[in-house]
Amino acid sequence: MSHDPNCIFCKIIAGQIPSKKVYEDEELLAFHDIHPWAPVHVLIIPKLHIASMVELTEAHAPLLGKMSVLAPKLMRELGVSNGFRTVINTGPDGGQEVYHLHMHAMGGPRPWLKG
Ligand code: 5GP
Ligand code: ZN
């Protein structure tokens, strides 16, 4: 399924739920997390609905590569200059809450709310 009508991130991609976007291209979208843990906290998501890392196949490798390369670029653009954390939560024990693959990118001066 390339799009899940019940998925909150698919709704953000479709513009049905507002978000503070920081980046968009044909394949990826990035926006500020609604409950930031850190001074800068963005989510990088593929426009393709992939529920979690469990669903990944070899064909998705370039997409994951693009997400990884985008993270430092966005952190730099958002003024993060002293390091950042990237996290992908997977499944119940991984603490995943939204089942549309996303990479958290968090940075900014400490202390942070969490982590
Ligand atoms: P997870 O625990 O699945 O890795 O993280 C999901 C993240 O999505 C959480 O940090 C949560 O704050 C964020 N989130 C959930 N719903 C929304 C929303 O409607 N808008 C935005 N911008 N972030 C959301
Ligand atoms: Zn989705």
Ligand 1, from 21, 35, 93: best to mutate by most atoms within 8 Å of Cβ?
35
Provide the pLDDT for residue 115. 80
87 CB under 6 A from ligand 1? Answer: no
Alpha carbons 70 and 109: distance in angstroms, whole number: 21
Integer-rounded Cα Rg, in Å, for the chain is 14
Tokens for 8? 């909150």
In a domain, 50, yes or no: yes
Alpha carbons 112 and 58: distance in angstroms, whole number: 35
In a domain, 48, yes or no: yes
Mean pLDDT, residues 50-77: 98
111 Cα to the center of ligand 2, angstroms = 32
Nearest ligand for residue 48 CA: 2
In a domain, 84, yes or no: yes
Largest CA distance in the chain: 40
14 CB under 6 A from ligand 1? Answer: no
CATH of residue 59 = 3.30.428.10
pLDDT per residue over 22-34, tens digit each?
999 999 999 999 9
DSSP 8-state assignment for residue 86: E
Tally of domains within the chain: 1
Alpha carbons 52 and 93: distance in angstroms, whole number: 13
Just list the catalytic residues: 102
The residue behind tokens 């609604």 is 34
Model confidence, pTM = 0.98
For residue 96, give its domain range: 8-107
Residue 36 has pLDDT above 80, yes or no: yes
Residue 1 has pLDDT above 80, yes or no: no
Q: Whose CA is nearest to atom 24 of ligand 1?
A: 34
46 Cα to the center of ligand 2, angstroms = 9
